[in-house]
Chains A and B, each alone.
Chain A
Amino acid sequence: MSNCYHCGDPVVEKEKIVFDDKEFCCQGCRTVYELFSENGLTTYYDFEKNPGASPKEVLSKYNYLDNSDIVSKLLDFEEENIQIIRLYIPHIHCSSCIWILENLNSLHSGVTQSQVVFSQKKVTITYDSDKISLKELVLLLSSIGYEPYISLENFDDKPKLIDRSLLYKIGIAFFGFGNIMLLSFPEYSNEYFKSEDFWMVEYQDFFRYLNVLLALPVFLYSATPYYISAYHSIRTKTYNIDIPMALGIIVMFLRSIVDIFFQDGPGFLDSMCGLVFFMLSGKLIQQTTYNFLSFERDYKSYFPIAVTKIKDEVEVPIQVYEIEKGDRLLIRNEELIPVDSVLISDIAFIDYSFVTGEAVPVEKKSGQKIYAGGKQVGNAVLVEAINSVSQSYLTQLWSNEVFDKKSTQKVKTITDRASRIFTPTLLTIALVGFIGWTFSSFNDAFNVLTAVLIVACPCALALTAPFTWGNVIRLMGKQKLYLKNTAVIEQISKIDAIVFDKTGTLTSSLGQQVYYEGIDLSKSDLVAVKNIVRGSNHPLSRRIYTLLPETPVEKPESYDEIAGKGVQGVFKGDLVKVGSANWVGVLSENKNNQTRVYVSINEEVKGFYVFENEYRKGIEPLLESLDNEGYDLYVLSGDNDGERKMLEKLVPEGTEMVFNQRPDDKLAFISELQKQGKNVMMIGDGLNDAGALAQSNVGISISENVNVFTPASDAILDAGSFSKLYSFLMYAKKAMKTIKMSYVLAITYNIVGLSFALSNRLSPLVAAIIMPLSTATIIGFVTLISTIYAKKTIEKKVLKKY
């Protein structure tokens, strides 16, 4: 089978389109190719094979962009006829995408400039609103397969100021560190060779005062995050690692000033700047983020900005926040229902996959209630709102306090816990040393006190965690588990209970794989089958119905549904039977554990539809190994317990299964487990899991395609890596072990340093050697160990024997 030249999808022989010697899967792809080749943009296909996406029909979807109020809220900048917009385009995935989007001006002269930020999948377009309106621009993008995603979230989303201060601070710290180190060399050579160096004698003061000058910006600017953090931690009585850090920095600086101005020595300015530089670098390393993913999504990123309201028989686009109870709304194909409403049209098929993860659309009849969050599949329908957006069933979930709590809640990290022991011990040692030395001389005592505080400054201790976590988060990302931040790793390592959502998590939200086996059905047969199953509400019938190609709707002459057997009817004179093997007339059936639906036409058995097991691959071994490791497992489901039997075969014994769970029930279930003292990991996917994900200690949302939308969570797991969950959990534990091991190393360095300090032998030279040496070895150690562990756990091919 060949692949489409434009989008790379397999080309179905019957629908193949050949144009310009190239094969296309559909008209849409061909049109885009034609458009590009007419405009000399075929370079698009040079960077990447089959980079495109087939354009979707959008038609009236963006009518609301005619409304200038809405447009001006979306724009980043507007001045006379120059407008600038930033659009999120999920399809951006390769260099071809960057190329075509940055050459938009070749397609339309109204576009003056366009620039892609690949990591965020965003494009900023400057255009002339006299020549092209925003709506036309969006339609242009859609027509070339780059449909932007505009949601309620964009509404007040103004460009955020990027915080670049960390980079400035690092730059200045490095400048200070490097220069002071060079200028200190004469001092050290002096000390080491015990010679009276000519330069030193002559220019000592010049070197030293210059060092003070260079150290000032580092002390006053680069190190500020530590002062602030230390201050906060004292005020909130949390006593984190930044207190001894800040203390160390301040003491180093003051002692150096005293030494230099009293002509007592060169001070510790180079060590201080080096320390600040290394610590800030650790911060930078830890900042690994996945910009193209969003971990903070709420319902706003799913909801449209505007809907079509029917007012006096006229369609008007209105903003969703303006919907009032009683408004009549027109919901088109693929449009989301923004408020709880009642169906006015005869029939609607609502796809709740955003909410529940269930991909099979639900049929609704006139007068039935439709909850917000569903998507209409099929023809446009009319509904009447019975609530406002914020009062809808689904959106009310976000008024739960867990969504506020999460942001302020600070988890105690291993570094903080270590510092709770470390800080008091350090202060005691410093004090003891001070008192001990006062018997000899007060001056020495002062030196010892400051030396202890300087050398014990927990640089290595504080650097361990950032570098380990930084490495771990990157390695996990390579295996397609994307963590929100490094704190999550530690949380994962502490998990003892795991809660799975059923629909969309244990099962695949892509829906069941359904395929046909047997004698090929002719076109008229397909029409007949489709029209027969149309009348049935049985889930299997519905699946077959959606699988079959679009056909004209015709009423069969007769129609009958026999419960537990199947459906039969006469269509254009043919007797069509769709149902179970015995009933259709198949005598021996070799099932292979599959669900099959047989089709016969005029009592001749044609073949059957196979419904593949919709549970994800590798679930059984995964759950088994989790169970063996001692994790408590739970399964939550919003559905009824119809599948309990099926699930019992899959999950290990003793797994608790709870059905009929509404979104807030799930949340309550998690917090109940937490009250029992458990550290809960929740794995879910739909919007209905959002509450539970937020409440749990670690919420992981699972996604078939990480580029599409997942509810707010601590981590996003690619569905393909689901079977690796066990390895991820093990790796997180190993990462913790790595940190503990490196603490031993760090403490060893500290003891060596302290022995120098307490015996009043800590010269600036010793400090200048110990500090970078310990830092470098610690960083090397944790990086090496965590990489080795990753090789042993997550990077190994999992579960070969299955």
Chain B
Amino acid sequence: MGVIYILICISIFVASVFLYLFIKSVRSGQFDDQYTPSVRMLFEEETKKKKKEIETEQESN
């Protein structure tokens, strides 16, 4: 029944991956500012749209 070794090793490995990802995200500063990104995410798209609009306007002129 050696399968238990494999299964548990896999489960620990998966958990370790999550731990690694957590540490990595903390290190990259994701948790330093918990407000601004939530707002930023909402308007990123619109900026690009605006810019494109201007460009197309300029082109059509």
Interface size on A, residues (CB 8 A): 33
CB nearest to A119 among chain B residues: B35
Max chain B C-beta neighbours (<10 A), residue from A117, A171, A206 = A171
Interchain CA distance A118-B8 in the complex, whole Å = 44
Query: A179 on the interface (CB 8 Å rule)?
Result: yes
In the complex with contacts A47-B43, A171-B19, A164-B31 CB distance below 8 A: yes
Interchain CA distance A17-B51 in the complex, whole Å = 29
Q: Which B residues lie within 8 Å of A179 (CB)?
A: 11-12, 15
In the complex with contacts A162-B29, A175-B19, A199-B4 CB distance below 8 A: yes
Chain B, 1-47, CB within 8 A of any chain A CB: 1, 4-5, 8, 11-12, 15-16, 18-19, 22-23, 26-27, 29, 31-36, 39-40, 42-43, 46-47
Q: Which A residues lie within 8 Å of B54 (CB)?
A: 40
Least CB distance from B34 to A in Å reads 8
Query: A333 on the interface (CB 8 Å rule)?
Result: no
Interchain CA distance A214-B13 in the complex, whole Å = 12
Query: A19 on the interface (CB 8 Å rule)?
Result: no
Q: Does the CB pair B26–A175 fall under 8 Å?
A: no
Query: A103 on the interface (CB 8 Å rule)?
Result: yes
Q: Does the CB pair A210–B12 fall under 8 Å?
A: yes
Chain A, 104-162, CB within 8 A of any chain B CB: 106, 115-120, 162
Q: Does the CB pair A40–B53 fall under 8 Å?
A: yes
In the complex with contacts A43-B43, A206-B5, A98-B19 CB distance below 8 A: no
Q: Which B residues lie within 8 Å of A106 (CB)?
A: 51
Q: Does the CB pair A164–B26 fall under 8 Å?
A: yes
Within 8 Å by CB of A178, from B1, B15, B23, B33, lies B15
In the complex with contacts A162-B29, A175-B19, A203-B4, A98-B36 CB distance below 8 A: yes
Tell me what chain B mostly uses at the interface: helix, strand, loop, or mixed: helix
Least CB distance from B57 to A in Å reads 8
Interface size class of B (residues with CB under 8 A): 20 to 34
Within 8 Å by CB of B50, from A40, A117, A175, lies A40
Least CB distance from A480 to B in Å reads 19
Q: Which A residues lie within 8 Å of B5 (CB)?
A: 206
Q: Which B residues lie within 8 Å of A206 (CB)?
A: 4-5, 8
CB nearest to B57 among chain A residues: A40
CB nearest to B18 among chain A residues: A175
Within 8 Å by CB of B36, from A116, A167, A171, lies A116
Q: Which A residues lie within 8 Å of B36 (CB)?
A: 98, 115-119
Q: Does the CB pair A164–B12 fall under 8 Å?
A: no
Interchain CA distance A230-B4 in the complex, whole Å = 41
Q: Does the CB pair B51–A40 fall under 8 Å?
A: yes
Least CB distance from A352 to B in Å reads 36
Chain A, 18-51, CB within 8 A of any chain B CB: 40-41, 43, 47
Q: Does the CB pair B26–A167 fall under 8 Å?
A: yes
Q: Which A residues lie within 8 Å of B22 (CB)?
A: 171
Q: Does the CB pair A99–B43 fall under 8 Å?
A: yes
Max chain B C-beta neighbours (<10 A), residue from A162, A167, A172, A210 = A167
Interchain CA distance A117-B26 in the complex, whole Å = 16
Q: Does the CB pair A162–B32 fall under 8 Å?
A: yes
Q: Does the CB pair B8–A183 fall under 8 Å?
A: yes
CB nearest to A213 among chain B residues: B12
Query: A624 on the interface (CB 8 Å rule)?
Result: no
Interchain CA distance A116-B35 in the complex, whole Å = 10
Interchain CA distance A164-B26 in the complex, whole Å = 7
Query: A168 on the interface (CB 8 Å rule)?
Result: yes
Mark A residues whose CB is within 8 Å of B: 40-41, 43, 47, 95, 98-99, 102-103, 106, 115-120, 162, 164, 167-168, 171-172, 175, 178-179, 182-183, 199, 202-203, 206, 210, 214
Lowest 6 A-B CB distances belong to which pairs? A118-B36, A40-B54, A175-B19, A95-B39, A167-B26, A171-B22
Q: Could you list some 29 contacts between A and B, CB below 8 A?
A: A40-B53, A40-B54, A43-B43, A43-B46, A43-B47, A95-B43, A98-B40, A99-B47, A102-B40, A106-B51, A115-B36, A117-B36, A118-B33, A118-B36, A162-B29, A164-B27, A164-B31, A171-B22, A171-B23, A172-B19, A175-B18, A175-B19, A178-B15, A182-B11, A183-B8, A202-B1, A203-B4, A206-B5, A214-B12
Supplied contacts A118-B36, A164-B31, A206-B8, 20 more A-B pairs, CB within 8 Å: A40-B50, A43-B47, A43-B50, A95-B42, A95-B43, A98-B36, A99-B47, A102-B40, A117-B33, A118-B33, A119-B34, A120-B33, A162-B29, A167-B31, A171-B22, A178-B15, A179-B15, A182-B11, A183-B8, A199-B4
